[in-house]
Chain A
Amino acid sequence: MRWNGKTLLWALALVGFILLPQLITVKYYLHLSILALCWVIAAQGQNLIQGYTGYVSIVQAGFMGIGAYSTALMGLHYDLPVWLTILLAPCVTAVFAVLTGYPSLRVKGHYFAVVTLAFNLVIFIVLMNWHDLTQGEAGITGIPKPGGKDSWLNWRDRGTYYYFVLSIAILMTGLAALIVRSRIGQTLIAIRQNEDLVGAIGIAAWKYKLFAFVTSAMYAGLAGAIYAHYQSFINPEIFGVAQSLDAILAVIIGGSGTIAGPVIGAFFVVFLPEYLRFADSFRLILYGLVLVLATIFMPRGIVGVAGDLWAKVKGKPS
C-alpha cells in the first residue's frame, strides 16, 4: 500500500476514533459519538443515492425507522437473538425499499425527492397509528442490548457499544468505498453526470438506481437497528422527515460524493446542535443559520474546502 497523504489521514482518523473513549473524560460526549457513528452509517447510505447517483432521497430516517422497529419487534415477538435481528433488519428494510424504489425511481429530480418525502410521511404515520404493532407515540421500551446476560462484555458500558458501532461504521464505510470504486459505482457516477447518455450506450440505468436506493435503505435499516439497541427505546418521533433532512445535510455539509464527507457531516449534525445549547431558544435558529451559510459558501462541503486548502498548500490547482 502506498502511504500518500489521503491514506495517512484515514489512518490518523482511525487511530483517533479508536483512542476516543480513552481521550474523552465526560461520558456524555461518548454518547454523542455513538449517535454520530449511527448517523455515519445512515449518511454513507444517503451518499450512495444522493452523492454518487444524484438522486436526493428524503426517506432515510423512515428507513431507519423500519430497521429499528423490525429488529425490536422480531426480538420481542419471536424471541430471536439480538445479533440475528440486527442482521435481518437491513433485509426487511430492503424489501420495503424495493417496493417503494421501483415506482419512485420512474421520476427524476425534484419529483423523486417529493415522492420519497411522501414515503417518509407514510412510514411515520403508520408507525404512529398502527398502535397494536408499534405502540404508537408511547414507543417500544426495553429493547435489549446485544450479548445477553451471560456475555463476557458489558454491553451497558458505553465504551463497549462505541467500539461495536465504530466497527460497523468502518465496515460500512469500507463497503461504500468498494461499491464506489467498482463498475457499479462508476455507473452510478455516470448516471449522476448524464443519465441519458448512460441509457444511450445500452446500460439499464434503472437497475443501478434501484441498487443504489435499496443499498442506501439497507444502510439506514442497519443504522436504525443499532440505534434501537443502543437507546433501548424507539418511538416514531425520531424517524420523521426532519431526521431525513439531517441525513441529507450530513452529506452536503461533509462533502457530497466523497467517502469522508458523510463521516464528517454525521458528527457535524449530531454535535453542533448540542454545542449550541448555550444559545437556549436561539439554538435552532443559529443551527439553521450555520447550515444555510455552510451550504451557500461550502457547496462541496468540508471535504471540498479541505481539499482546496490542501491544494493551495501544495501549490497545485484545486
Chain B
Amino acid sequence: MKLTTLTAALALAGTTALAAEKTLDIGVSDALTGGAAVYGLPQANAVKMAAEEINAAGGIKVGDDTYMLNVIAYDDKANPTEASNSVRKLIDRDGVKYILGFCCSGATGAVASFIENEDAVMLVGNAAERSITTREIPNLVRTRPPADYTGAAAGTFVAQKGHKKVAVLGALDIGFYASYVDAFEKELEKAGGEIVTRESFGLKDRDMTPQLTKIRELGPDAILVVGYVEPAAFIYRQAVELGIDVPRFGFTSGSEEQFLRVATSEQMEGVWDLRPTELTLLSASDNGIAYHANYSEKYGIAPSPSSPYAYDQTYALKDAIEAAGTVDDTEAVAAALRELPVPDEVVMQYLPVDGKMFDVNGQAYTSNGAFQWQGGNWVFVQDLPSDAAAYSAFLSTID
C-alpha cells in the first residue's frame, strides 16, 4: 500500500514537474530599430513584461498542463519584406504559432496577406490601417481600433469647440493618417467647418517651417497635426517659434518623454491629442497605473501610451488558449479569441461589442479620448463620442 502511494506520489510529482517544464514560445515581430521603434520597441517590451507576469502567476493552464511563456522577438524595422522574413522565421524555424506586436501598418499588411494560410494566430497591436481587419482573416485580431474610428470622433470634438477653419499638417502619404483626416473632415463639414489646407511632411522631415508659414498665412482657427511623435513634436515647437497662436490638435500617441526630447513643456502647453483612450497616468485605471509603474521600473523609462495594445494582446492570448484548452490547435484558439470577453488584466479601456473583446472582424475597440498637455503631462480631459457597435457594423460592410 505504502509502495503504491509512494509510486503514485512520485508519478504525480513527476507529472507536476513535467507540466511545470512545458514552454510555449510566442513570437513578436515589431520595429525594434529605426523611426518606428518609438512604437515597436515599447510593444515588444510590453509583451515580454506580460509574459513574465503570466509566468510568475503560474503560467497558462491547459488541461493538466501548465505552460510558461517564452518570448522570441525579431526586428521588422516596419518594413514589409523584413516583417515577412521575421514572421516566416518565427513560424518555420522557431515553430511559433502565436505572433504578437505589429506596430506599423505596411509591415502588418504584408504579414496579413499570407497569415491565413499558416498554422498560426496573429495578434496586431498599434497598426491602425483599416484594411487589416476588413479582410475577414479568421486567425487575425487587432487590439487597436482603426484610425478613421478615432478621426470621426476627433472631427466632432473639434467642431464642438467652435472651430470652422482647420489646417492639416500630417504624414498624409501614410494611409491610416490620411483616413483619420478624411473621417475628421467628414464630421467637421457636417458642423459647417472645413479643412482649409492639407500640408504633408515625410516621416524623416524635421523642418516644417515652410508648411507652417503657409498655414499661418491662411489664418486658420486651429491646426491638426497627424504623424509620428518626433516630427509632430517639431511641428508643435516650430508653430510656437513662428508665433502661430491657434489651438493645436493632434493624433500622435506619444508619451511625455518622447515629446520632451524635441520640444519644451512650455512649447507643448495646451496641445490636444485626440486618440484612443490610451495610457496616461492621469487617465489610467488601476491596471494602467500598475502597468506604468512596473514598466518604468523594469525598463527605466515610462511606457509609450500605445504600448499596452501589445500587453493586452498577451493576456487576450492567455485567456483564449485557456478557453480553447489547447496550444496546438490554432483554429480553436483563433475562434476562442473571437468569443473572448475583455480580460480582467488589460490596461486599455475596451468597448466590447456584443459582450466580446473582438468583433466578428477580429477588431477590438477602445473609447476615444481628448488629452491635453498641461504643466508637463498629458491630462485626460474628456471622452470623445465613440460608437463601437455602429463602427463594427460599418467595418463589416467594407470589402
18 residue pairs bridging A and B, Cβ less than 8 Å apart? A26-B93, A27-B92, A28-B91, A31-B85, A31-B88, A32-B85, A35-B85, A138-B109, A141-B109, A142-B135, A143-B113, A233-B114, A234-B80, A235-B110, A237-B80, A237-B106, A238-B80, A274-B85
Number of interface residues of B (CB under 8 A): 32
Residue numbers in B under 8 Å from A26 (CB-CB): 92-93
Partner of A135, one of B81, B93, B112, B175: B175
Closest to A128 in B: B173
B313 at the interface (CB under 8 A from A): no
Is B85's CB under 8 angstroms from A137's CB? no
A 122-165 binary contact with B (CB < 8 Å = 1; else 0): 00010011010001111101110000000000001000000000
User: With A and B bound together, what is the CA distance between A234 and B109 in angstroms?
Assistant: 9
User: With A and B bound together, what is the CA distance between A116 and B354 in angstroms?
Assistant: 55
Partner of A233, one of B91, B109, B175: B109
Q: Decide yes or no: A232 and B114 within 8 Å by CB, A32-B85, A274-B89 being known contacts.
A: yes
Is B33's CB under 8 angstroms from A281's CB? yes
Chain B residues 80-111 with CB under 8 Å of chain A are 80-81, 84-86, 88-89, 91-93, 105-106, 109-110
Is B135's CB under 8 angstroms from A137's CB? no
Q: Decide yes or no: A138 and B129 within 8 Å by CB, A233-B109, A238-B80 being known contacts.
A: yes
Is A129's CB under 8 angstroms from B114's CB? no
Partner of A232, one of B85, B113, B131: B113
Main secondary structure of the interface of A (DSSP, over half): helix
Residue numbers in A under 8 Å from B86 (CB-CB): 277
User: With A and B bound together, what is the CA distance between A283 and B34 in angstroms?
Assistant: 12
A residues apposed to B, CB below 8 Å: 26-29, 31-32, 35, 125, 128-129, 131, 135-139, 141-143, 156, 231-235, 237-238, 274, 277, 280-281, 283-284
Residue numbers in A under 8 Å from B33 (CB-CB): 281, 283-284
B32 at the interface (CB under 8 A from A): yes
Partner of B178, one of A35, A131, A281: A131
B 61-79 binary contact with A (CB < 8 Å = 1; else 0): 0000000000000110011
Residue numbers in A under 8 Å from B32 (CB-CB): 280-281
Residue numbers in A under 8 Å from B88 (CB-CB): 27-28, 31
| 14 additional contacts (CB under 8 A) given A136-B174, A235-B110, A238-B81 | A27-B92, A28-B93, A31-B88, A137-B106, A139-B110, A141-B112, A231-B114, A233-B80, A233-B112, A233-B113, A238-B80, A274-B89, A277-B89, A280-B32
Closest to B110 in A: A233
Closest to B175 in A: A138
Chain B residues 192-237 with CB under 8 Å of chain A are none
B117 at the interface (CB under 8 A from A): yes
Residue numbers in A under 8 Å from B135 (CB-CB): 141-142
